[in-house]
Structure 1
């Protein structure tokens, strides 16, 4: 498979306001259970560590940046919705399979209710353009794929 057929994509599962304590809290320890489920979905598609992926948890970036600029030090981060993110470097077929796996693994109904999160969630998907300097962070996914394929050659 030609690597030119692969692209970087990011899933974002918005969970609403952060929990006061536990894994859904902004100061929670360890990986958030929904982020872990997203990562497990990626491993389920092509096998463990076959799809380069990166998970993260935190405030919805666009809303957090706005709040910081609008209210500066006076804004309360606990009033900004949080999300779990999964970035992947995949083919279109792998992306389609991953969408299906995420819907199944998170138990997402058409109305947005997730049995895994035990609440209504919003799931977004966006393409990441690696030629944009602000997206340089995602280049490590491509490098992981190249390292893995060159090691198996």
Structure 2
């Protein structure tokens, strides 16, 4: 990716099994605290324009889909690990700055312990190819950026 070229990236912070109650539970209300941390990390990045982002919380999709097909209604959703996800539309330099901010804001060690979550987490990131039909959901991040640039022009 060229320095000025933008791409969509998705981060995931795996939190293990859902909490029984509170914001880390499957029926919890509001935004998960780790999703708020991820969003705050994005806001710390100095960029020419605000970085469009989207956060979410829920079961690890691939594991949840498999469990539903394999065991149907007999499977307890509380047995599927949960994660917070962050999708962003960024340049390569912004991506590097964001990774650093996320590590700092989560208080993440190389061993995977995150002081912000008070537990060991799994964290990953992946590039999202917008040309696939499955990724069309992420197009709204690109649209937000384009609208923002048009408003400032």
TM-score range, shorter chain: over 0.9
Structure 1: which 4+ aligned runs deviate by more than 6 Å? Answer: none
Q: How does 1:2-151 map to 2 (within 5 A)?
A: 5-46=5-46, 50-151=50-151
Q: Could you say what secondary structure the match of 2:45 adopts?
A: helix
Deviates more, 1:11-20 or 1:64-73: 64-73
8 Å contact from structure 2 (residues 17, 78) kept in 1: yes
What is the RMSD computed on CA atoms of the aligned residues? Answer: 1.5
Structure 1: gaps spanning 5 or more residues: none
User: How many residue pairs were aligned?
Assistant: 151
Once the two structures are TM-superposed, the CA of residue 46 in structure 1 deviates from its matched residue by 2.4
- Bigger CA drift: 15-24 or 2-11? 2-11
TM-score, structure 2 normalization:
0.95
Query: Secondary structure at 1:55's aligned position in 2?
Result: strand
Q: Provide the rounded CA distance (Å) in 2 between the counterparts of 1:3 and 1:53.
A: 19
The TM-score normalised by the length of structure 1 is 0.95
For 1:46, what is the secondary structure of its paired residue?
Answer: coil
Which runs of 5 or more structure 2 residues have no equivalent in the other structure? none
How far apart in 1 are the matches of 2:33 and 2:40?
Answer: 10
